[in-house]
Amino acid sequence: MASSAASSSAAASAEQPRSRNFLLCPICKKTHWSLPVHLRRSCMRTSSEADILAVVESAKRAVSNLLRTGRVWEYSLLSRIMQSPDTIGR
């Protein structure tokens, strides 16, 4: 019985490779393990499936770009942001 469970889990992983990266919701700006589920249940529950899938693909491209190139911030920009009196604009 253990071999059939192992073969079914191997078949499931062969069907669709899963990314282990969290995706950022562009609406609430929080990361989620399953962005499509979050969008369907919360932030985009009234939107069409095509719109949701487009947002998910955009988030996947953004995280892929971030992981490939990283983010570099100039110290002068960080200083200006931290010294700004406008806390919302930070």
Rounded-to-integer distance, Cα 15 and Cα 9, Å: 10
Tell me the pTM. Answer: 0.61
CA dist 27 and 55 (Å) reads 10
pLDDT value of position 19: 66
Average pLDDT, the chain: 82
Average pLDDT value for residue range 18-45: 91
pLDDT at 2 over 70: no
Nearest residue to 18 via CA among 38, 35, 5: 35
For the cut 60, the answer to whether the pLDDT of residue 83 exceeds it is yes
Contact between 63 and 21 under an 8 Å Cβ cutoff? The reply is yes
pLDDT of residue 9: 47
